[in-house]
Amino acid sequence: MDKKQVWDAVLQRMAEKISRMEFHTWFKKVRISKISGEAVVLSCPTEMNKNWLETKYHGMLLQNLKAILPEIDKLFFDVDLSLADSPTTSPEVFEDKKTKAPRKLPNRPDVKLNGDLESRIIHHKFTLENFVVGDETRLAHSACVAVSECGTKEKKKYNPLFVYGGVGLGKTHLLQGTANEILRRNSNAVIVYTTAERFMNEIVKSIRERNTDRFRKKYRRVDALIIDDVQFFEGKEKTQEELFNTFNDLFEFNKHIIFAADRPPADLVGISDRLRSRMGWGLSVDVQMPGYETRLAILQEKSKELGLILPNDVQEFIAANVRKSLRELENILNQVSAEVELSQLSPTVQSVGKMFRKLNPHDELQTVDGAKAGYAKTPDEIITAISDHFQVPATELLGNSRKQEFVYPRQIAWLLCKDLLRMSHEAIGKDFGGKNHTTIMHGVRKISDLKRKDSATARHIHALKKDLGVK
C-alpha cells in the first residue's frame, strides 16, 4: 500500500464519523508525507489546519491508521504550504450525494436580504456547507468551522473571531452559517445574532423603557454572541460601553463572540481603544472578492437553490461579469429567474448582457476569456497593489493631491483599471473619489504614452501585473 492508499483507507473508515463539511474543511488537502517504522507524518496546508487536526482528530486518526497498519504507534503533523494549491483527491464517500431536484421557480425574485429588516433572524439558507470556499475566503471559512466545532466546555479558540471585508463578499453568510452550525451540533445552544445597528436600537429602547437589566440578562446568558457590521458602532460611545461590558462578561465565562465589519479592527477609528483592542484579541480574518472559478461555483450553487438551469455560456458570462460584489450575482440571478418565468425562454448571453448594462451602465462587459486569464481583479486589488509597489497610501491614490509622487501611481492605477478591468473612464472616475471622466482619460493617455517611451514606466506596469497575478 502506498501513502495515498493508506490515507484514502483512513478517510474511508472515518466517513461515518466526520461530515462532508468537516472533510472539506480539514482533510481534503491533507496528505501522508511519510510512513517510517511506527510513525506517520501528516502534512497540512496551513498552520491552523495542523493545529486543528492535532487537537481534535489526533486520537481518531491514529486509531484508524492502526487499524490499517497495525505497526503504527505515533502520529506527527507538519505544515506544507504547497498543499494549499494541490488538487483534492477525495474518496468518493465525501462527494455530494444530494442532487437536489430543481424546485419550481419562485413567483417573485427573492426580496434582497435587508440588514435592517431582518437583522435578528438566523436564516436557514446560509450554511457553512453551501458557502463555496475559494482561496480568498478559505481562512475565514475554516475559522468559522473551527468556532462552530468548539464545544461549550472547551477553552475557546479564536475568541473573538473578527471577519472583515467589503460589501457582498459573504460575511453575513459566514456568520449566519456559523450560527446554524453551532445550533446543528447543539440544539440547546443559545445564540444571538444581531447587527450593530439593532444592538444599539435595543439599548436605546431599554434605556427609554427603563429595563436595561433585561437587556443585560438577555445578552449575558448566551453561548455565542454574533454581531454583524460593527463599523456601525463608530462614534456611538454609550453603545460601545454597553458592548464593552457585555464582551468582558462573555469572554470571562468562555463564551464565543464573533464580529464582522467592513474593515479590520485597527481601522475602526471611532471605536474606543479598549473595545477595539478587544475586538482584535482573537483571530481577524478577511474575505475578498473570489476569482472567476469560484464565482462560477457560487453561481452554480445559487442557481441550484433557485431551481434555475442556465446554459453554460450564460453561466460563464455571468461569472466573468460579476466583479465587485456577490450581491450583484444574486441580483442578476433573480432577474434571470423572473424573466425565465415570464417569458418561458432560456436566457442568452445577450439578454443577460442587457441586465448587466442596466446594473452598471458605465462598465464595459468582460469577456469570459479575459476573466479566465485572470483579468477579473477588482479596483480595490489594483489600488492595494499600487499602494504596496510605490509605497504610497491608498488614500492618496483616491485623493486629489497634485504632487507628482501621488499623481504618477494614481494614473497608473487608472490605466490598469482600464486595461485589466475594462472599466470605462466614467466608472474609474466614480471609483477614484468622483473624478471627471476627462481627467481619467488624460491620465490614462499620458501613462500609455509613457509606457511606450519610458522603460521605467513599462517595468512598473509589468511588475504590477505580475503582482496582480495577470498572466
Q: Does 139 participate in binding ligand ADP (rule CB under 6 A)?
A: no
Binders of ligand ADP in range 209-228 (CB under 6 A): none
Q: Are the beta carbons of 221 and 246 closer than 8 angstroms?
A: no
Instruction: Candidates 30, 258, 298, 468: give the one binding ligand ADP (CB under 6 A).
Output: 298
- Residue 334 vs 457, nearer CB to ligand ADP: 334
- Specify the DSSP class assigned to residue 323: -
Q: Are the beta carbons of 101 and 256 closer than 8 angstroms?
A: no
Instruction: Candidates 138, 157, 173, 324: give the one binding ligand ADP (CB under 6 A).
Output: 173
What residue is closest to ligand ADP based on CB? 170
Quote the CA–CA distance of 202 and 197 in Å, as a whole number.
9
Q: Choose the one of ligand ADP, Mg ion, none that binds residue 173, judging by a C-beta under 5 to 8 angstroms depending on kind.
A: ligand ADP
Q: Does 132 participate in binding ligand ADP (rule CB under 6 A)?
A: yes
CB of 131 to Mg ion, least distance (A): 13
Q: Does 197 participate in binding ligand ADP (rule CB under 6 A)?
A: no
Q: From residue 229 to residue 248, what is the string marking binding to ligand ADP with x (rule CB under 6 A)?
A: --------------------
CB of 298 to ligand ADP, least distance (A): 4
Q: Which residue has the cell 434571470?
A: 336
CA distances in angstroms from 153 to 1, 52, 186, 250, listed in the order given = 40, 17, 12, 14
Q: Are the beta carbons of 91 and 12 closer than 8 angstroms?
A: yes
CA distances in angstroms from 208 to 203, 211, 212, 244, 385, listed in the order given = 9, 8, 9, 20, 49
Q: Which residue has the cell 460584489?
A: 325
Q: Choose the one of Mg ion, ligand ADP, none that binds residue 169, judging by a C-beta under 5 to 8 angstroms depending on kind.
A: ligand ADP
Instruction: Candidates 167, 266, 309, 458: give the one binding ligand ADP (CB under 6 A).
Output: 167
Lay out the sheet containing 31-36: strands in order across.
31-36, 39-44, 74-79
Q: Does 121 participate in binding ligand ADP (rule CB under 6 A)?
A: no
Q: Does 170 participate in binding ligand ADP (rule CB under 6 A)?
A: yes
In terms of phi and psi (left: phi > 0; alpha: psi -120 to 50; beta: otherwise), the region of 400 is: alpha
The number of angstroms, rounded, from the C-alpha of 373 to the middle of its chain's C-alpha atoms is: 22
Q: Does 143 participate in binding ligand ADP (rule CB under 6 A)?
A: no
Q: Does 330 participate in binding ligand ADP (rule CB under 6 A)?
A: yes
φ and ψ at 260, to 5 degrees? -130, 150
- Specify the DSSP class assigned to residue 130: S
Quote the CA–CA distance of 134 and 306 in Å, as a whole number.
22
Instruction: Candidates 156, 157, 171, 418: give the one binding ligand ADP (CB under 6 A).
Output: 171
CB of 176 to ligand ADP, least distance (A): 8
CB of 469 to ligand ADP, least distance (A): 19
Of 320, 436, 429, the residue nearest 377 (C-alpha): 320
Q: How does strand 39-44 pair with strand 161-164?
A: unpaired
Q: Does 323 participate in binding ligand ADP (rule CB under 6 A)?
A: no
Of 464, 290, 288, the residue nearest 376 (C-alpha): 290
CB of 57 to ligand ADP, least distance (A): 25
Tell me whether the omega of the peptide bond preceding residue 290 falls within 30 degrees of 0, making it cis. Answer: no
Q: Which residue has the cell 509597489?
A: 389
Query: What is the per-residue burial (b if ≥16 Cβ within 10 Å, else e) of 310-319?
Result: beeebbbbbb
Of the ranges 163-171, 210-218, 374-382, 447-455, which one interacts with ligand ADP (CB under 6 A)?
163-171
Q: Does 326 participate in binding ligand ADP (rule CB under 6 A)?
A: yes
- Residue 64 vs 148, nearer CB to ligand ADP: 148
Instruction: Candidates 159, 172, 315, 337: give the one binding ligand ADP (CB under 6 A).
Output: 172
At position 303, the amino acid (one-letter code) is S
CB of 118 to Mg ion, least distance (A): 11
At position 383, the amino acid (one-letter code) is I
Instruction: Candidates 172, 239, 303, 457: give the one binding Mg ion (CB under 5 A).
Output: 172
For the record, the C-alpha cell of 300 comes out as 452554480
- Residue 32 vs 279, nearer CB to Mg ion: 279
Q: Determine the Cα angle at 380 with ends 271 and 414, to 5°.
A: 130
- Residue 129 vs 316, nearer CB to ligand ADP: 129
CB of 143 to ligand ADP, least distance (A): 14
CB of 167 to Mg ion, least distance (A): 7
CB of 326 to ligand ADP, least distance (A): 3
Q: Enumerate binding residues for Mg ion (CB under 5 A).
A: 171-172
List contacts with ligand ADP (CB under 6 A). Answer: 126, 131-132, 137, 167-173, 298, 301, 326-327, 330
